[in-house]
Amino acid sequence: MQNWFKPIYEHLRHLYLGNRFFVGLGAVILSSAVGFYWSWLFYLAIAGLVALLGALVFDTVQLYRMAGTVEATRRTPRVFSLGDRMPVRVLVSNRGTFNINAALTDELPPELQIRDHYLPFELPAGEDRELSYPILPLSRGEYQFGNLNIFLKTNWRLAERRLEFAAAQVVPVYPSILQMNQFALQAKTTVPAPGRRRLRRLAKSYEFDQIKEYVKGDDFRSINWKATSRHNALMINQYEDERAQRVFCCIDKGRTMLMPFNGLSLLDYAINATLALSNVILTREDRAGLITFSDKIGTVLPADSKPDQLRRIMEALYRQQDRQRESNYDLLYYASRKLLGGRSLIILFTNFESNYALDRVLPGLRRISKSHQLVVILFENTEIAELLDVPTGEVEDVYRKSTARRFLQQRELMAARLRQNGVNVVLTRPEDLTGAVINKYLELKKRGLA
């Protein structure tokens, strides 16, 4: 492209002809065609064409006068929340003396799959206006926004002038922070009253407190033989009672967790619930940890209650990627024996397609439950459950309902079999997962099992 043509091209590529111009041009063409029969219409068409082109030039000049007086900036949240609608705001300023008729088109991230974004608005002279539109992120990662485009029009609407404002930015999408804050209130309102006796603890603390003289009823395994020989009396080590319990959220990232419901996969539902539950665990002064696995062990974050533990969990959840492989529960058992330390509460987010799939992993779950308090989270298939509410009109509907009912009964049977093997179970709808798992944790906490 020649250097002299570049400035002209830059102006032309931002200028568009409006619908009214094409309507007028069509009238001119029709008049000229009919002019073959009535000559006076041909001359009228020529006059109309000259007037139309003149009006187009005047309209274009007005648009260029308006263009230099408009400014636009985008304001987004610092991070987006997975699965939650969040607003994006655009501030538009008109510093000129003309009232503006315009439309906003934002270059949205491709992950949103929005290709028809168009927001018309009016802006009086010398005023500012804030435009807002919601977005619903359905996948974690970095969302790349492009430039802001504003299409200016006058009242004649023969042409449009596109203004392009540089506004490229990257906004990360984290697990649902809104859900985390929403369910944090539940933890604050269910704190046990002072002096409540704990029935049983998941782990015994080995943090040394003091050496004292043995009295009847003390654990003889705590006898300190060196102190006994020095004092010529039976002495034992006394340890502090550990209040903060270890609670691990264990997320299956395998193939069965990729099933989508309402735009989110089961893995994303589990990640959102894990973040909210970890916040509640830390609020209750327990120690929260994280394990992810599939065909191999992924992230292992030791249980802790440090001030930055929630941030570490959030960053770890943000980086998780699904793996289309079969999950290895033998590796999970190995991790529970070698990496978790003492007895802990393990909340396992997983999904079994059938009772046969459960049969393969049930021995491993039994072994884990012998060393730890295990809670398995199972998901109901809400789409299949909705088939039971469809009116029965034909024989095919009867068979469809019968199959759906049999599938739901299998899920109930899976839960019953796990409970028979000493495993706590939460069977819930994906959209109710966060509340259900937090309630289960609080229930175990109240009973002294967590």
Which of these, 450, 408, 400, 398, lies nearest to 429 by C-alpha position? 408
> What pLDDT, in 10s, does the model give residues 85-108?
999 999 999 998 888 899 999 999
What is d(CA 236, CA 220) in angstroms, rounded to the nearest whole number? 8
For residue 201, the model assigns a pLDDT of 43
Confidence tier at 213 by pLDDT (50, 70, 90): confident
Contact 117, 147 (CB under 8 A): no
Residue type, 124: P
The more confident residue out of 88 and 211 is 88
For residue 218, the model assigns a pLDDT of 75
> What pLDDT, in 10s, does the model give residues 242-276?
557 899 999 999 999 998 888 899 999 999 999 99
Confidence tier at 395 by pLDDT (50, 70, 90): low
For residue 13, the model assigns a pLDDT of 77
Find all residues with CB under 8 Å of 258, minimum gap 6, and list them: 265, 266, 267, 322, 324
Which of these, 383, 381, 266, lies nearest to 322 by C-alpha position? 266
Contact 246, 342 (CB under 8 A): yes
For residue 192, the model assigns a pLDDT of 42
For residue 209, the model assigns a pLDDT of 61
- Whether 384 shows a pLDDT value over 70: the answer reads yes
Provide mean pLDDT across the span 360-372: 91
What sign results for the dihedral spanned by CA atoms 9, 14, 20, 26? positive
Q: What percent of the chain has pLDDT over 90?
A: 48
Q: What percent of the chain has pLDDT over 70?
A: 87
Q: Residue holding tokens 């002072």?
A: 194
- Using DSSP bridges, classify how beta strands 287-293 and 100-106 pair: parallel, antiparallel or unpaired: unpaired
Length of the chain in terms of residues written: 450
For residue 403, the model assigns a pLDDT of 72
Confidence tier at 191 by pLDDT (50, 70, 90): very low
What is d(CA 149, CA 427) in angstroms, rounded to the nearest whole number? 48
What sign results for the dihedral spanned by CA atoms 23, 28, 31, 33? negative
> What pLDDT, in 10s, does the model give residues 180-189?
888 876 556 5
Provide mean pLDDT across the span 225-234: 83
User: Which letter does DSSP use for residue 240 in this model?
Assistant: P
Lowest mean pLDDT among 237-246, 267-276, 307-316, 322-331: 237-246
Q: Which helix (H) or strand (E) holds 292?
A: strand 287-293
What are the φ and ψ backbone dihedral angles of 221, each rounded to 5 degrees? -70, -10
What is d(CA 321, CA 295) in angstroms, rounded to the nearest whole number? 13
